[in-house]
Amino acid sequence: MRCPHCSAENPVNSSRCRTCGLDRTSPLIWPHLPAYAVRKLGVVAAAAVAVCSLLAVVAGALSFESLWLARLGAAQRDPGLVERAHRLEEGLLRAEGVAMLVAGVLVIAWFSRARRNLDAFPEARPSISAGWAIGGWLVPFAHFVLPYRIMKQIAAASLRGRATGRLVGWWWGAYLVGMLTTRLMRRLRPDGGFPAHVEYFVRMREVQLVAAVAMVAAGVLLVRLIVLISGAQTDRIARARAARSLSGARLGG
């Protein structure tokens, strides 16, 4: 008989699937628990993450323009050019901040739904409560660990049979590097005359390039996770509802 969880063929007298190891007699989702749609929200969240990655690339590229303006202003003793460099830098930081805020809200909303769906999966048994799918991003110090652990559980339960641990680990490592370097950028300040401003933009360019690489890597990996998890959970919920409808039709017949 075919396993409802992984579609592998099994002997008729075997209750546990030889491929995925799950109980073939258990439902795909518990009928008394809600299952939440994640695909459309996942698409919007992934698009917002892609915009953040694009802005990181633009900021990294324009950091050369800011440095050029600062060096030109120092060479010509023109404070107006230095001011233009600062306005360009501040505008990019504001745009990135707004984009990251929007993307953060959408990703956390998707993240919360994907985690709550695990409660409806009989074999999932997540060790961290669903409330931390939101709180874990907001509580100081916990936000360095909890989102990674929850994503690891979501990926493992949703994408059974796939090696997801390394994908989640690379995503989280890149995200932490991008987050910390972005915070460092906001703390840098020029101190002194023209040479100090040039040195400030040299440091900003270095930090922005690291942040751009990290944020693009984190963005690509996160989009990959969102697409894979959304597809797997949506497919599972659809198959569970179809099986339930078929069972109801048989009983009604």
Cα–Cα dist 242/253, whole Å? 16
Domain total of the chain: 1
Confidence at residue 147, expressed as pLDDT on a 0 to 100 scale? 97
Domain residues for the domain of 191 are: 39-239
pLDDT tens for each residue of the chain, 253 residues long: 555 555 556 566 665 655 555 555 567 787 888 899 999 999 999 999 999 999 999 988 888 888 888 888 888 888 888 888 888 888 888 898 899 999 999 999 999 999 999 999 988 888 999 999 999 999 999 999 999 999 999 999 999 867 788 999 999 999 999 999 888 877 777 777 778 878 888 888 888 899 999 999 999 999 999 999 999 999 989 888 777 665 544 434 4
User: Is 206 inside any structural domain?
Assistant: yes
Confidence at residue 14, expressed as pLDDT on a 0 to 100 scale? 60
* Model pTM score: 0.84
DSSP conformation letters of 174-241: HHHHHHHHHHHHHH----SSHHHHHHHHHHHHHHHHHHHHHHHHHHHHHHHHHHHHHHHHHHHHHHHH
Confidence at residue 60, expressed as pLDDT on a 0 to 100 scale? 87
User: Is 10 inside any structural domain?
Assistant: no
User: Is 153 inside any structural domain?
Assistant: yes
Confidence at residue 249, expressed as pLDDT on a 0 to 100 scale? 40
Give phi and psi for 247, each to the nearest 5.
Answer: -65, -40
User: Is 203 inside any structural domain?
Assistant: yes
Confidence at residue 221, expressed as pLDDT on a 0 to 100 scale? 97
User: Is 122 inside any structural domain?
Assistant: yes
User: Is 106 inside any structural domain?
Assistant: yes
User: Is 129 inside any structural domain?
Assistant: yes
User: Is 210 inside any structural domain?
Assistant: yes
